A = this chain, B = another copy of it.
Amino acid sequence: MSLLVVGTVAFDAIETPFGKRDKTVGGSASFLGTASSFFTKPHLVSVIGEDFPEEALKRFQARGIDTQGIERQRGGKTFFWAGRYDQNLNVAHTLETQLNVLATFEPKVPSAYRKLPYVMLGNFDPQLQRRVVEQLDSPKLVAADTMNYWITDHNAELRKTLKHVHMLSVNEGEARMLSGEWNLRKAAIAIADMGPKIVVVKRGEYGATLFTEEGIFVAPAYMLETALDPTGAGDSFAGGLLGHVARIDSAKPRVLRQAIVMGSSLGSFAVEGFGLERYETLTPGEIRKRFEQLHALTNFETAGIPW
């Protein structure tokens, strides 16, 4: 089944202890779309400026990504983000943000996209996220990301939007901030009460934890030898997750567990290169191998214990 992705397409300037890029294609929709394209056909809704190269769109299309929902604003400039990471790569320090065409963006879902069964809303204004959902025709699963700014400064809007969201993907700090609970089990229960019955807590180099009514699932992060740039890791994770759900056409607990691990696999690859660079050579065989390595990483026998 196909996937609707709504989010940003951006230019990023990135600096890590391992290198820098002055202008590379980024943004949540770019990572979500690229990661999920290994599993399903992603349909992107986003906005770019006149400065965004046609050739970059062609690269998306070559992956089977439908870019017809990407609106190009005449005379506008593409959203720009500049950030720096320290050695531990866990925290992004934003150096500059130019909203540009994003400032007036009103996501319009093309009529051909309105019946898409799986939906991923990248991190943007919760009011706009809700307007996207309102344009849809009974999707099977709506997943969304958000961040501290919306939690603190637009909490009421976010709360309204969460009522329409089935799966929320946030990091530990955001889960705690949104719920007011330090304990992650309690935080997940509080968030489920706001709407999303599926809560995915991203824990960076420690992996991710899935909370559903079925129970808790802890997915490991792949232990990288080479971590260059964490930009887009969270969106690559969500892209792998939703891509797997769309491919299997199920959000049953068994499938969700696999999907989280698939997300962990994709997230780990994203970190191995700057921006989208690692995807240029990534193969389905490598994804499969890493998925199996993640299984080997956590697998243990319960038999043979003389209880």
Which residues of A are interface residues toward B (Cβ below 8 A)?
Answer: 87-88, 182-186, 203, 206-207, 209, 215-220, 223-225, 227, 244, 247-248, 254, 257-258, 260-261, 284, 288, 291-292, 295-302, 304-307
Contacts and interface: CB of A to CB of B under 8 A. Distances in A.
B261 A300 contact: yes
A295 B288 contact: no
Interface SS majority for chain A: mixed
Given A183-B225, A258-B300, 11 more contacts: A185-B224, A186-B225, A206-B206, A218-B223, A219-B298, A220-B298, A254-B304, A258-B301, A258-B302, A292-B302, A295-B302
A258 B209 CA distance: 21
Q: How many copies does the complex hold?
A: 2
B302 A247 contact: no
A203 B302 CA distance: 23
Contact of A215 (B215, B296, B305): B296
A207 B305 CA distance: 21
A270 B93 CA distance: 37
A292 B300 CA distance: 11
A305 B215 CA distance: 22
A208 to B, nearest CB: 11
Given A88-B182, A225-B183, A298-B298, A305 B258 contact: yes
B297 A218 contact: yes
A219 B207 CA distance: 12
A277 to B, nearest CB: 20
A227 B305 contact: no
Contacts of A300: 217, 219, 254, 257-258, 260-261, 295
A260 B225 CA distance: 23
A225 B297 CA distance: 26
A137 to B, nearest CB: 27
Contact of A217 (B184, B297, B306): B297
